[in-house]
Structure 1
Amino acid sequence: MSKSLYVTANESRSGKSAIVLGVMQEIMRKVGRPAFFRPIITVGAHPDGHKDHDIELITKHFRLDMKYEDTYGFTLREARNLINSGRRDLLIDTLLEKMGALEKEYDFVLCEGTDFMGRDPAFEFELNAELAANMGTPLLFVANGKDKTPEEVVASAQSTIETLEEKGVDIIAAIVNRLECDDCFALAKTLQCKTRCEQPLLTFAIPEVKSLGNPTVRDVVNWLGAKVLYGHGQLESLVGEFLIAAMHIGNFLEYLSQGSLVITPGDREDIILSCLASRLSSQYPDISGIVLTGGIEPNANVHRLIEGWTGVPIPILLVKEHTHMTSQKLNDLYGRIEPDDTKKIATALGTFETHVDVMELGERCLERRSSRVTPKMFEYNLIQRASAHPQRIVLPEGDSDRILQAADILIRRNVAEIIIVGEEEKVYTKASQLGLEIGDARIVDPMLYERFDDYSETYFEARQHKGVRIEDARDRMADPTYFATMMVHLGDADGMVSGSITTTAQTIRPAFEFVKTKPGFSIVSSVFFMCLRDRVLVYGDCAVNPNPNAEQLAQIAINSAETARIFGIEPRVAMLSYSTGASGKGEEVEKVIEATRLAKERDPSLLIEGPLQYDAAIDPEVAKTKAPNSDVAGRATVFIFPDLNTGNNTYKAVQRSSGAVAIGPVLQGLNKPVNDLSRGCLVDDIVNTVAITAIQAQAEKGIR
């Protein structure tokens, strides 16, 4: 079951608030404890006295038990500042953490996108798309049909849907709102998603409801902070348009239309009286009221005249600002549903239920879980899974600045219990110079460690058949990498990560010598997690084995499938070759055929196919032609390359040409988790690798 839904528009005044009301009403019918979350709000935070309108509306009407600070992430200004200062990752990470916390505490989280009331709607659209994709939540798109022809509505909405799909967003429904057409339903049905649609797009159309879309005179009073001079009982009149009156009466009257709110300086008694007269005349449309500007009230005689009028026909308001400023303020006013406006709320809910199949939408929202996984989502899930059951991870490179910086982050986020190998004073001094807090890390100096002799003896017993003497064993254990690996081997640590300042050979040689491979496996191999824009693939082996034979290739496939499974990726294994099926021949093709047979023999339940060309493995359309009856072709998640040359070059080509994030190499096949870093790794790479190692350690203990 899905635990969230993201509702967004692509422009202002789409009526999104009314849609959110309707969606939350249906969610309340199906789940016990929902939450409401706006990643980005336009107004400032609560201490200023200004609360977000839609947060107030939803939390108050549905009586949600939530603290205001838990209902939003950042203001739009804060989000823009973070992005402009190069801290986009901090923005996304923080929002993912807040969203994750809500999903843990509540049964369902309804997210609402930005209001598009800023000066850069393109920025807001990109931000909403990125947030929905990274949160992994299905999306409901609200298209604005107000003041558009049917052709314009379809073109704009379809273009937006396709753009959202390109950005990796999982769209489940589109509602075209505020439509003014004869056959709105048929218009909405023309919209569709075009790529990777697991189910047809749900589409609905809702006509324009003036009582929802247009502000009332009361809304004007609240928006402007106006004083009501007359017509206190007529403030619910709907405003159709704002009309500045600056002409002589004869010309001005030509511009009156139904619901006009007339804006004029307070000393224009001629305009005031003509407006009052127009409401009494059947020859003119009914205006909604008058706003007098400049803080100027009518003179005493005009007041007397109005007061003597039996039942003043329209509201008359007074504001301090001049006419131009008043009109500018009113340009930002639109029909809003206030939390205490039971009439509007009932209208919004009734309209929604009349034009939307709430049962179908509710089932789709709750049953659908997005299949899209962005790099940020994958990295966030790594951290969450690792921190759920922290493992003891040893880092032998205590002299590395990046290792210490990563340790600081890992400790702050409770990803793992960190053990750093090095001289205690040197490690703490360097950390202090870097401004880091690593007080909760355990610092271990090999030469001072109480089990140093045990470690040396264990190594001696494991390697004496290779001519190793006890003196040699002690020298080996003085080496931080050998020492850290032995900590893992003997259970004093759950996993090791190294390689930021040492070579791959230095990192994995100790593991080969005494940690050894798992029973039934003869080799250690590796995978990379390739985080594409909307999914994560597993590539193996791209780092360790230069030219595996068929038996080794089968082992790599089985281990890679298990690694995928550990990290929540359903394994569908493609054994890659330059041939699909029987389309090509040769020794290398035969190797892949034999490896596929051996892997199936060892694990009959494994979904595996080979040989497959890469395009047939990943592209559903190509698969229909090259391998039409395959359960793997076109849907592969695990890609096994025939040799290191192919795998290493392919992962780098995909990484550099598509902007994919490559996480790895992740070693597999060992009895205990040991992982290698690139010497060019970033601090974030170290954090991710430690999280991966911790999850592998959890799996070794049966924690999933």
Structure 2
Amino acid sequence: MTRSVYVTGIDRGDGRQVVELGIMELLTRRTGRVGVYRPLLHDGPDRLFDLLRSRYRLEQDPATAYGMEYHEASVVLAEKGTDELVSRLVDRYHRAARDYDVMLVLGTDYADTALPDELALNARLANELGAVVVPVVGGTKQTAESVGAEAQGAYRALEGLGCQVVAMVVNRVAAEDRAAIAERLAARLPVPCYVLPDDKSLSAPTVAQITRALGGEVLLGDEAGLARDALDFVFGGAMLPNFLNALTPGCLVVTPGDRSDLVVGALAAHASGAPPIAGVLLTLNERPAPHILTMASKLAPGTPVVSVAGNSFPTAAELFALQSRLNSATPRKLETALGLFERHVDTAELRDLLSVARSERVTPMMFEHELLERARSQRRRVVLPEGAEDRVLRAADVVLRRGVCDLTLLGDEQVVLKKAADLGIDIGGAQIIDPATSPLRERFAEYYARVRAHKGMTVELANDVVSDVNYFGTLMVQEGLADGMVSGSVHSTAATIRPAFEIIKTRPDAGIVSSVFFMCLADQVLVYGDCAVNPDPNAEQLADIAIQSAATAAAFGVEPRIAMLSYSTGTSGSGADVDKVRKATELVRARRPDLAVEGPIQYDAAVEPSVAATKLPGSDVAGRATVLIFPDLNTGNNTYKAVQRSAGAVAVGPVLQGLRKPVNDLSRGALVQDIVTTVAITAIQSQTPAPAQTQAAASQPHAPSPTQAASPTQAR
């Protein structure tokens, strides 16, 4: 039977979308078959469903995602009563739910609905659907006492109506009241109550939203600038010195279009980072002269300057009435919302309360969710040497908003901060270090000269070497100032991993540094090795790659069953290439008799049970292999790319293995999400393995201190 989770408010303005998004995140970590149902919908597109469908790759037909529109419900209610309305809505729910393991039900929104008792209607629907209920109470502009009383009242009301309330959320409370409200409700409610503070950036409109709402014309600015949040409004009328003192970080400057001095002054302030602004909104349909706009575009490239027809007073009224809503066009707000939810909700506890069984299928999204969750579980620090690169900064923004790990960015601090301001992102939680001026440079030079003295290295030469961001980042990892490093978005693989070979070196139990890709297929995750580092490993090296890959697989939740791949299966073929794989298989069995391994074996016999039954009947691995070891780089690299492109698999990696501490390389074509995932993997690699992990995981490297940090890796 389909499990159902009903999220309902008790009034409007509760910011419930944050909770709905957070619960959807939890559900999709457990199963790939999640559906969405909104009983009642206002006329027009359902932006939240569009967001959930896009973000979580739902295949659900939008026509099945809602029961009926509010105006239709009002007619049914007036003419035939509540029973008929509920019957129709429940029937449409069941038609949608039969295709899913879990349904997320989005309650009514209390906004212009003309329904007489929405709380009772939501309770009735939840009961008829057999759903567990998570009520959301808004705390905007309320005292701790009043919001606490309202939450208690909501629980009693829903319980009295027969609902199975498993947890409550109080949202948008004043940050200074959060702890007091949480303590009060923990003592007075029989179910967990999670209290989320208000985050101004979630309700702040973006410059693009303001432009659309006011019918403005964009004079200057790019897409990244228009995506900035307008956290405050500063109205220009004063003389320039006083005006500059009034600017606040993230503010939108609103000024008559003939005040060129204020336009230039605001953009100059942004360029210097004192402070970075969201943009400039010009009123009265006045525009600065062309030479002023040219100067403005050079002062702060990308920063939006928008012109509107109205004067300042009506424009101000419209601005203060605007509030942003989560949608697919505001990805940074989504990460902020999820970060807020995950920081203040015990997600493991709530997941258990929702009683959603874990699916045996593992989708790419489920695997990625698991990575982020595990990275957060033991906070690590990852160093990103390419600190001024656009994609790296965007990824850092996501990592920090989601609380995946702590970050250190390398580069000139003013350059990094200015680039972040131009991109409209917040990296305030990151440490920024300039290798050229850092006091660590001298210490690192002495260390590097010492460990490379056999190569003729001197402190003077080393002083230049360690100013390179990849060497500096690697030395931070070696010296325990970071737990892992991720680089390669603009550097070659050699530039990224050569310092690791020289400084961090291989683990005592590893004879070689190798790599794996996690190949996320539609319903399972396979591990491919080595597809990125070793061109033609010999039998001993191939055995080492297999053992390392099994350990990596186990560490990331994939039960290792190793297939040593070749162009023949069992004893059907001969030749030097097959003999190499056969010898490597024997070495794996001798060194690690606890591991399930088969070889030589062809790919189809390794992964397809029907083929395995013919070619290797009775094998514990054939047809069920999860770790596939390729005989050489040519075969491995081409196969992973063929599967990635032809089967639509998500390739996560390369993940390096065999180093004493984690360093991971990015593809130079890596997307922002690839970088985020790579940082998460790196963080997990540095965590101490749990005692319950298999023996294969025992050889995984672990951080020398539980307080250190790491980073995730995903490359294409």
Indicate whether the TM-score tops 0.5: yes
1:449: Cα distance to partner? 2.2
1:446 alignment partner in structure 2: 435
Deviation at 1:446, TM superposition (A): 1.5
1:427 matched residue in structure 2: 416
- What is the aligned partner in structure 2 of residue 658 from structure 1? 647
**CA deviations over 1:73-112 (Å, ceiling 9, x no partner):** xxxxxxx9957x7989969x969978996553353425xx
Match of 1:476 among 449, 465, 490: 465
Which amino acid is the alignment partner of residue 416 of structure 1?
C
Tell me if structure 1 keeps the 8 A contact 2:483–2:703: no
In 2, the alpha carbon distance for the partners of 1:89 and 1:589 equals 54
Matched, 1:627 2:616: yes
Give the 5 Å matches for 1:111-190. Answer: none
Match of 2:165 among 64, 73, 80: 64
Provide closer, same or farther for how the CA distance between residues 415 and 45 of structure 1 changes in structure 2, counting only shifts above 3 A: farther
Aligned partner letter, 1:466: K
Provide the aligned C-alpha RMSD in A: 3.8
Cα drift, residue 451 of structure 1: 2.5
* Other-structure match for 2:361: 372
Question: Structure 2 CA distance, aligned partners of 1:456 and 1:537?
Answer: 42
Residue 106 of structure 2 aligns with which residue? 41
Q: Structure 1 residue runs of 4+, over 2 Å off?
A: 2-21, 36-63, 65-71, 80-83, 85-91, 93-108, 447-451, 701-704
Match of 1:54 in 2: 125
Determine if the alignment matches structure 1 residue 109 to structure 2 residue 354. Answer: yes
| Structure 2 match to 1:249 | none
2:586 is aligned with 1:586: no
Residue pair 1:46, 1:68 contacting (<8 A) in 2 also:
no
Rate the CA distance shift 1:44–1:68 in 2: closer, same or farther, 3 A.
Answer: farther
| Comparing 424-433 and 48-57, the one that deviates more | 48-57
Written as runs of structure 1 = structure 2, the 5 A alignment for 1:185-204 is none
Q: Does structure 1 residue 549 correspond to structure 2 residue 538?
A: yes
Checking the alignment, whether the CA contact within 8 Å between 2:326 and 2:333 is kept in structure 1 is no
Query: Are the structure 2 counterparts of residues 561 and 592 from structure 1 closer, same or farther at C-alpha, using a change threshold of 3 Å?
Result: same
**CA shift digits 1:355-385 (9 cap, x unpaired):** xxxxxxxxxxxxxx42211111111111111
In 2, are the aligned partners of 1:39 and 1:95 still within 8 Å (CA)?
Answer: no
SS at match of 2:165: coil
One-letter amino acid of the structure 1 residue matched with residue 162 of structure 2:
H
Contact 2:34 2:102 in 1 (8 A): no
Q: Does 1:394 align with 2:639?
A: no
Does residue 695 (structure 1) correspond to residue 687 (structure 2)? The answer is no
Residue type at the aligned position of 1:389: Q
Are the counterparts in 2 of residues 578 and 589 from structure 1 also a CA contact under 8 Å? yes
1:640-669 C-alpha deviation (Å, 9 max, x unpaired)? 000000000000000000111111100000
Map 1:304-703 to 2 at 5 A: 369-699=358-688, 700-701=702-703
The count of aligned residue pairs is 425
Counterpart AA for 1:39:
L
Q: Alpha carbons of 1:64 and 1:560: their partners in 2 closer, same or farther (altered >3 Å)?
A: same
Question: Shift in Å at residue 19 of structure 1?
Answer: 13
Instruction: Name structure 1 gaps, 5 residues minimum.
Output: 22-35, 72-79, 111-136, 139-368
1:580–1:490: structure 2 CA closer, same or farther, 3 Å change rule?
A: same
The structure-2 alpha-carbon separation of the partners of 1:624 and 1:413, relative to structure 1 and needing over 3 Å to count, comes to: same
Tell me the CA shift for residue 463 of structure 1. 1.0
Residues 173-208 of structure 1: CA distance to partner in whole angstroms, max 9, x if unpaired? xxxxxxxxxxxxxxxxxxxxxxxxxxxxxxxxxxxx
SS in 1 for 2:660: coil
**2:488–2:496 Cα contact (<8 Å) kept:** yes
Contact 1:497 1:690 in 2 (8 A): yes
Deviations 1:94-150 (A, max 9, x none): 69978996553353425xxxxxxxxxxxxxxxxxxxxxxxxxx66xxxxxxxxxxxx
Alpha-carbon spacing, 1:106–1:47, altered in 2? closer, same or farther (3 Å): farther
Q: 1:447: Cα distance to partner?
A: 2.9
* Structure 2 letter corresponding to 1:630: S
Report if the CA contact (8 A) 2:483-2:683 is conserved: yes
| 8 Å contact kept, 1:419–1:441 | yes
Amino acid at match of 1:674: V
CA distance in 2, matches of 1:668, 1:16: 53
Does structure 2 retain, via aligned residues, the 8 Å contact 1:37–1:109? no
Q: Does the Cα contact within 8 Å between 2:529 and 2:636 map onto a contact in 1?
A: yes
Change (3 A) 1:45 1:452: farther
Larger radius of gyration: 1
| TM-score of the superposed pair, with normalisation by structure 1 | 0.55
State the secondary structure of the residue aligned to 1:447: coil
Contact 1:7–1:20, Cα closer than 8 Å, also in 2: no
What are the superposed Cα offsets for residues 10-31 of structure 1, whole Å, 9 maximum, x if unpaired? Answer: 978999969999xxxxxxxxxx
Shift of 1:61: 2.3
Contact 1:496 1:673 (C-alpha < 8 Å) held by counterparts: yes
Amino acid at match of 1:55: A
1:224-235 superposed matches below 5 A: none
Q: How many angstroms apart in 1 are the aligned matches of 2:362 and 2:510?
A: 31
Indicate the percent of aligned positions where both proteins have the same amino acid.
Answer: 52
The amino acid of 2:125's aligned partner reads D
Bigger mean CA deviation after superposition, 691-700 or 101-110: 101-110
Structure 1 position 466, deviation (Å): 1.3
For the residue of structure 2 that corresponds to 1:500, the secondary structure is coil
SS at match of 2:452: helix
Q: Which runs of 5+ in 2 are unaligned?
A: 4-26, 38-59, 68-85, 95-100, 134-160, 172-192, 194-324, 689-701, 711-716
Kept after mapping to 1: 8 A contact 2:527/2:549: yes
SS at match of 1:608: strand
Q: TM-score under structure 2 normalisation?
A: 0.54
